[in-house]
């Protein structure tokens, strides 16, 4: 599927965030979009603006269902790896993760910084604004084969 197509072209594409020295988690409230972290960081399906929003919604569902952990792309441009959302004790493929794919949310939870990465435990989705990034109008479906063609 999408993963088999992507593997051959996967290249390094993620830089380290500035290291933090917090001794414990920090309560935060972050507004951003629930994204498909695989396609966002790998670059194999397109540049970052095209692998978010409505253009990438179908692929994001496939990836989450396939086990790719979701992330929260904050308004600050940082990506927060989501460890849990509310009662869903998984980082991918849970009902909540699938329901919120590509949605803009306001997340309240605890931020943990390790190894230059941001990990977020979302204790409450304060607001779910739905899919607000309607970039399919610009990019179409990214990648096009995310929607299977039954005629083939």
Partner 1 sequence: MIRSLLLTCAMAVPAMAETPLPFKLGGAFELTNQFGETRTEADPDGNPQLLFFGYVNCQEICSAVFPMLGQVVDTLEEKGIDVTPVLITVDPKRDTVDTMEEPLAVHHPDFVGLTGSAEALQVAYDAYSIETEEVFYDPEFGPVLAHGSFVYLLDAEGKFLTLVPPIVSPEQAAGIVEKYVGETS
CB-nearer residue toward partner 1: 18 or 137: 18
* Bridge partners, 98 (sequence order): none
What the block records as the tokens of 86 is 């509310």
Neighbours of 150 (CB within 10 A): 5
Q: Which of 110, 126, 131, 141 binds partner 1 (CB under 8 A)?
A: 110
Neighbours of 26 (CB within 10 A): 12
- Which stretch, 52-60, 62-70, 132-140, 142-150, contacts partner 1 (CB under 8 A)? 62-70
Q: Which of 28, 31, 46, 66 binds partner 1 (CB under 8 A)?
A: 66
Binding-residue pattern over the window 114 to 143 for partner 1, x denoting contact by CB under 8 A: xxxx-x-x----------------------
Under a CB-based contact definition with an 8 Å cutoff, are residues 73 and 52 in contact?
A: yes
What is the rounded distance in angstroms from the CA atom of residue 28 to the CA atom of residue 47?
A: 28
Pairing outcome for strands 79-85 and 104-114? unpaired
Q: Please, what is the minimum distance in Å from the beta carbon of residue 21 to partner 1?
A: 5
CA-CA-CA-CA torsion sign (100, 70, 98, 38): positive
Question: Interface with partner 1 includes 93 (CB under 8 A)?
Answer: yes
CB-nearer residue toward partner 1: 55 or 82: 82
Q: Which of 42, 96, 97, 135 binds partner 1 (CB under 8 A)?
A: 42
Q: How many CA atoms lie within 13 A of 37 on its CB side?
A: 23
Q: Which of 59, 69, 100, 102 binds partner 1 (CB under 8 A)?
A: 69
User: Which residue shows structure tokens 């966002």?
Assistant: 40
Site residues (vs partner 1, CB under 8 A): 1, 3-4, 6-7, 10-16, 19-25, 37-38, 41-42, 65-69, 81, 83, 89-93, 110, 112-117, 119, 121
């Amino acid at each position: 599927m999408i993963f088999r197509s992507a593997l051959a072209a996967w290249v390094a594409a993620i830089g380290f965030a500035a290291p933090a020295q917090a001794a414990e988690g920090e309560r935060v409230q972050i507004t951003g979009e629930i994204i498909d972290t695989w396609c966002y960081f790998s670059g194999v399906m397109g540049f970052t603006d095209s692998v978010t929003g409505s253009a990438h919604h179908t692929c994001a569902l496939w990836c989450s269902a396939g086990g790719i952990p979701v992330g929260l792309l904050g308004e600050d441009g940082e990506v927060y790896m989501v460890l849990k959302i509310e009662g869903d004790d998984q980082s991918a493929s849970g009902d909540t993760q699938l329901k919120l794919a590509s949605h803009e949310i306001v997340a309240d939870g605890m931020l943990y910084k390790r190894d230059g990465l941001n990990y977020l435990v979302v204790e409450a989705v304060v607001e779910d604004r739905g899919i607000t990034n309607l970039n399919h109008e610009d990019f179409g479906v990214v990648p096009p084969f995310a929607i299977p063609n039954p005629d083939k």
